[in-house]
Amino acid sequence: MPAVQETVERVKRIDVDQYRYGFETLIDSEKAPKGLSEEIVKFISQKKNEPAWMLQWRLEAYRRWLTMTEPTWARVEYPKIDFQDIYYYAAPKPKKTVTSLDEIDPEILKTYEKLGIPLREVAMLEGVEPKVGEEDPARRKIAVDAVFDSVSVATTFKEELKKAGVIFMPISEAIREHPELVQKYLGSVVPTSDNFYATLNSAVFSDGSFVYVPPGVRCPMELSTYFRINERNTGQFERTLIIADKGSYVSYLEGCTAPQRDENQLHAAVVELVALDDAEIKYSTVQNWYPGNSEGMGGIYNFVTKRGDCRGNHSKISWTQVETGSAITWKYPSCILRGDNSRGEFYSIAISNGFQQVDSGTKMIHLGKNTSSRIISKGIAAGKSQNTYRGLVTAHRKALGARNFTACDSLLIGDKCGAHTVPYIEAKNSSATFEHEATTSKISEDVLFYCVQRGLSQEEAVGLVVNGFVKDVLQQLPMEFAVEAQKLISISLEGSVG
């Protein structure tokens, strides 16, 4: 069919300049020598002024990692990663302690401005902060933690959050300032021995965000972290730990971008969420790492372990992700439903174009009674990409009355891409109710023709159909993010149809 022919032609011409965040920031940075060894682990720990227990924790992880091998079960193909050819630590110079934004390298501030995250403006708002109760309700505040390569460069609204009792700071600071919380919860959801990449992260993570919301507190604003990889040949290993104490609520947003480079870069993050009794955590991600060029060269290898523990009764954790970037995505944000009546949710849009490979999904592990979970996954494959949903739903024998509903829909654009669904379902007691629905469809020529006959261009038509397809998930995102995600979806699919 001619239109499909054209699709293929257009996909062939997809160019790197469609990635809008591919610029590089020229700043001096301080790096540890290439490669990984006990010395490097010690170097990172020392750079962070960490207490002895933290170094010990890292070293144990490192020794464990040496005994592990890379997982190969995912439906992704890539050349073997040389873990000795990566820088494990890079920090922007100067390395003196930054006490205000004025001391941050202006180039870094500019970078975040280009990314649409104006740290300076946000900080100024903080300076003219109105009295509590007199806030302008029209202007929703978002506190930002900006992580540049291996270190956090700025965290905004810290003071205001502090008044509410919320701790939001780089995890490197939390290790020094709140060791009791970090020691209690770090590694309690994703243990250091969990998997190859999580163990590597445990040994070498250099920064990330830490959040603690005290009992009964509804966090007064959205919290967000923007991750930016800048340095060449540098891995980014951030670690995020969020604890929602009894009866509290927090909504957390995460965004990520990287420059365009010909070589691949490794990103191996760990995110741990803990929700105690009656607490709720909503975690949203818009992942837009550099996906590689039209020949499949470059791009981020994204091997991420994200897991939430509904530790308390009636607790709730909800993951929403919009995945558009990375050359390879290996990511399964999961929920352990330990508390009785706890609930886990996973809403996902995964878009792949060009040569991207996505293997993503979730695990819902029902341990407590009357636990429920819901999975809505929308995969969109274009170009020569491969898009796999991999999901696990299990009910422990004590998880009486466990319920799950799963809907996995895949949409194919063109005929050189693939969509795959790999669900694993295990119920170890007879009172569990699991429902699974899956569909795979193609954007049909008929639908596109109908739209263009009504005056839409081919690209507008694809955008419209895709946005309709992902609507259920977009609605789960906080409003600011939903708009960003919608734009991102159209950009990611530019050139996917002739």
Partner 1 sequence: MPPLNRLDTKMALLEVKDLKVRVEEREILHGLTLTVNEGEVHAIMGPNGSGKSTLSHVIAGKPGYEVTDGQILFRGEDLLEMDPDERAAKGVFLAFQYPVEIPGVTTMNFLRTALNAQRKARGESELMVPEFLKKVREVSKSLNIPQDMLKRGVNVGFSGGEKKRNEVLQMALFEPSLCILDEMDSGLDIDALRIAADGVNALRSPGRAMVVITHYQRLLNYIVPDFVHVMSKGRVVKSGDKELALELEASGYTQFEDAA
In 3D space, the residue among 348, 338, 391, 400 whose CA is nearest the CA of residue 369 turns out to be: 400
Q: Among residues 181 and 447, whose Cβ is nearest to partner 1?
A: 447
Q: Among residues 99 and 453, whose Cβ is nearest to partner 1?
A: 453
CB of 404 to partner 1, least distance (A): 23
Assess contact for 112 and 146: CB atoms under 8 A. yes
Measured CA to CA, the distance from residue 348 to residue 292 in angstroms comes to 22
CB of 395 to partner 1, least distance (A): 31
Residue 27's Cβ-count burial label (10 Å; 0-12, 13-18, 19+) is middle
Q: Among residues 16 and 443, whose Cβ is nearest to partner 1?
A: 443
CB of 372 to partner 1, least distance (A): 25
Dihedral in degrees, nearest 10, Cα atoms 123, 127, 128, 133: 90
CB of 442 to partner 1, least distance (A): 13
Query: Tell me, what DSSP letter sits at residue 47?
Result: H
Q: Among residues 3 and 422, whose Cβ is nearest to partner 1?
A: 3
**Structure-block tokens of residue 118:** 């104006």
- Facing residues of 403 across strands? 372, 433
Q: Among residues 2 and 79, whose Cβ is nearest to partner 1?
A: 2
Measured CA to CA, the distance from residue 60 to residue 47 in angstroms comes to 19
CB of 291 to partner 1, least distance (A): 25
Q: Among residues 49 and 457, whose Cβ is nearest to partner 1?
A: 457
Q: Among residues 438 and 452, whose Cβ is nearest to partner 1?
A: 452
Phi, psi of 143 (to 5 degrees): -85, 135
Assess contact for 260 and 230: CB atoms under 8 A. no
Measured CA to CA, the distance from residue 352 to residue 71 in angstroms comes to 22
Q: Among residues 166 and 497, whose Cβ is nearest to partner 1?
A: 497
CB of 4 to partner 1, least distance (A): 9
Q: Among residues 91 and 349, whose Cβ is nearest to partner 1?
A: 349
Per CB under 8 A, residues contacting partner 1 are 1-3, 444-447, 449-458, 460, 464-465, 467-472
Residue 223's Cβ-count burial label (10 Å; 0-12, 13-18, 19+) is buried
Q: Among residues 279 and 382, whose Cβ is nearest to partner 1?
A: 382
Q: Among residues 307 and 378, whose Cβ is nearest to partner 1?
A: 378
CB of 376 to partner 1, least distance (A): 12
**Structure-block tokens of residue 168:** 């939001």
Contacts of 278 (CB under 8 A, 6+ apart): 246, 247, 312, 313, 314, 315
Residue 434 amino acid letter:
F
CB of 489 to partner 1, least distance (A): 12
Residue 137 amino acid letter:
P
Phi, psi of 423 (to 5 degrees): -95, 135
Helix axes 445-453, 2-12, angle to 10 degrees: 90
Dihedral in degrees, nearest 10, Cα atoms 251, 113, 145, 218: -30
CB of 468 to partner 1, least distance (A): 3
Measured CA to CA, the distance from residue 100 to residue 102 in angstroms comes to 5
Residue 131 neighbours by CB distance under 10 Å: 6
CB of 1 to partner 1, least distance (A): 6
CB of 465 to partner 1, least distance (A): 6
Residue 464 neighbours by CB distance under 10 Å: 15
